Structures are given as C-alpha cells and as structure tokens.
Structure 1
Amino acid sequence: MKNLKLLVIVFICFFISCMGKRKTEEKIVEDKLAKQLVREITNRNNINFEHVTVILSFLAKKDDSFQLFYSEDYMLSFNEKDMITTGFKGSNNYQSIVFKLPKNVFPDRYRLDVGSNIEQKWIKIESLQFRYGNNEIFIPQQLISKLLVPNTFIEYNEFENVYNLLTLNVEKNDIYDPYFTCSPELVRLLLEL
C-alpha cells in the first residue's frame, strides 16, 4: 500500500513538472505571437505608415538587375509573387539601389539575388540598410560577410573584399544563380526593426 501511495505521489509530481514546462513553452510562443500581433495592429492603424525599405550600395561593372525576395512565413521559402526587381547600369563607381516593399509587409527573411547577367563575374558590397520609420539596420562592408550567407554560386574573396559570381556546370548545363540569404543574427535584428 505504501508503494502504491509513493507511486501516485511520484506520478503527480512528474505530471505537475511536465505541465509547468509545457506552460513555460506555451508562454514563450504566446509572447512571440502577441508581440507580432501588436506590431501588425499598430502599423495598420498608423496613418503615417511607411514602407520597409532596403538599400544596397554596391559596385558592379556590367549592366544587370538584382532581385529582393522576402518572406513573412518564418520559412526559407521564396516565390516570385514576393519579389522586387531593380535594374541598373554597370559602373566603375559604387551605386545604390532601393527596394521599397509593399504596405503592411514585414518580412522576417530576405533573399538577395545579385545577378542575372552571366557576364557579371564579381561584385563588391559597400553596405546594406533596412529601414522602417525611424528604425534602421545599417550593415557596413566589414559585416556583410558575417550577416549575409552566400549560396554555392558565390565565393567570397576576403583579401580583395569581392564576391565572385560563379557559373556551375550541373549535368552538362551551365547554371548561374548567385544569391544571399540572411544569417540567424540578421534575422534576429530584423525582428526588432
């Protein structure tokens, strides 16, 4: 009988501790959702609403266009519906392009495609900025390689501070698709924007 009482007490303690842990995890998720909901409600009711703007300062010698994909679903899935394309003329000087996102769009992830011109062999990035209202995330040249993650079509040359854009041969086909995604550190910064 004492063993049965002891077993019941142990079971009740175990059940209570599991419930406490689950409530803590649920509270964290609820807090995140509440923060997101408050942000969305505040922004939708703000008459002086401004768009999220992304500004890229770069050097590229050939005419080309860059695409900025954005996602609000906390996944790494991107589609052409949520994309902005901006063309530019090649130059020997740094230039900036601006991506202005639609109203009521607050991405948590971005993908920056840095070229559709296969003759564009390299680019230099001077800075990247994310702006919303009075808030800004400014990423200088020395932090770009830490906060943007290149795909296999981009090779970083740290001595020249150049991103080489590669063409890969897959099953006898040349493929050219250089792009960057956000590092986990950048995602955390973007959530605070």
Structure 2
Amino acid sequence: MKKSILLLFALSLSLLVSCKDENAVEKTEEQAKKNVKVTVSALVKVDDDFQLFFREEDNITTPFEEGNSLWTKVTASDKPQNIEFTLPENVLPNYLRLDLGKNEGQQPVVISGMKIEFLDKKIEINTSTFFETYFVHNNSIEIKDKSTGEVITKKDENGTYDPVFNSGENLKFELQKMYR
C-alpha cells in the first residue's frame, strides 16, 4: 500500500514538473515575439557588414544614433539571402535606416524585398514599393534598375562611402498600424 501511494505521489510530482516546464517554454516564446524583426532579402556578392538603425521618436529630422542600431555580417553568395535584424524587446520604431555595408569593393546589390514582423502582424515590402514608396537613398547609392532592385554602392561627391536607405512617413504610418 505504501509503495502504491509513493508511486502515485512520484507520478503526480513528475506531471506537475513537466507541466511547469511547458509553461516556461510558452512564456519564453511569447516574450520573443515582442521584438520587431526586420528581414531584408538581398543578393550580396561580396562579404560585408550591414547595419540597421531604428528610431522610436516621431520626428523624421532627428538624426539616427549609433546606439540605436544593429550590425549583421553578410556572407557573399550568388543566391538571394535573408539578412535578419531583431530589435531589442519593446522597441517600436517609427523610422528605419538600412546601411548597405562598409565594403567599398562591394559589387552591385539586388534588394528583392523586406519583411517587418511584430507579434502576429507583418509588413511585406516588394522591390517596387521599397524604392518608390517606403525608402529613399543617399548619394552613395545609384539605382541601376528599380524593377529588379539592383543598386550600386559608391562614394558620394565628397568621397564618402556610406550607402544608406532611409524610411519616410509612408513606412511610419504602416509601422504604427502594425503596432496597434
């Protein structure tokens, strides 16, 4: 009889512990979803480091700050790849800035789209809307072909190499809708 009670107690305890572990896993997954994730689909033929700046402030003229940015290594490939940036938890940016690397020897880059995810919502940006609706480029980027997304990175007229795409008001409105 004592063995049966002990066996029943041990079984109950193991079920209780396993249920507790499942809840911990669910909470961890739920917490991970509170991050905004930005995925850029691009063909990059030379190794480089891409940087994504983010700004929560609702003023388009406020400069981006290095402390509000993420770097990721991009390995050269002859095939398009997903370049991912996961923002810190509870950071909900109004503006983004994508820097296409530091490598002045970069070959033409092909941007085929971008996806921005938060919780169960997402914004999918195709090639044409990337260039025509959501992002503007600086003088270190030359758009070779908007329809294919091919861009050339170069030094600007002052000899500075800093190829940048800045988001504008259109993306801000879409981001704010996504956060609701």
Q: Superposed, which structure 2 residues align to 1:5-154 within 5 Å? A: 48-49=30-31, 50=33, 51-75=35-59, 76-146=62-132, 147-154=134-141
CA distance, structure 1, for counterparts of residue 149 and residue 50 of structure 2 = 19
CA distance, structure 1, for counterparts of residue 152 and residue 128 of structure 2 = 17
Corresponding position of 1:37? none
CA distance, structure 2, for counterparts of residue 150 and residue 182 of structure 1 = 9
8 Å CA contact retained: 1:121, 1:166: no
Structure possessing the higher relative contact order (Cα contacts under 8 Å, 6 or more residues apart)? 2
Specify the SS of the correspondent of 2:70: strand
What displacement does 1:169 show? 4.5
CA distance, structure 1, for counterparts of residue 42 and residue 149 of structure 2 = 12
Query: Runs of 4+ in structure 1 displaced over 6 angstroms?
Result: none
CA distance, structure 1, for counterparts of residue 91 and residue 122 of structure 2 = 16
CA offsets, 1:74-103, max 9 Å, x none?
233211111100001111110111100101
CA distance, structure 2, for counterparts of residue 149 and residue 121 of structure 1 = 20
Question: Counterpart of 2:114 in structure 1: which amino acid?
Answer: L
Identity of aligned residues (%): 30
Corresponding position of 2:176? 191
8 Å CA contact retained: 2:135, 2:168: yes
What displacement does 1:142 show? 2.4
Calculate the TM-score normalised by the size of structure 1: 0.70
Consecutive unaligned residues of structure 2, counting only runs of 5 or more, are 1-28
Consecutive unaligned residues of structure 1, counting only runs of 5 or more, are 1-46
Calculate the TM-score normalised by the size of structure 2: 0.75
Q: What value does the CA root-mean-square deviation take over the aligned residues?
A: 1.6
Tell me whether 73-82 or 130-139 shows the greater mean CA deviation: 73-82
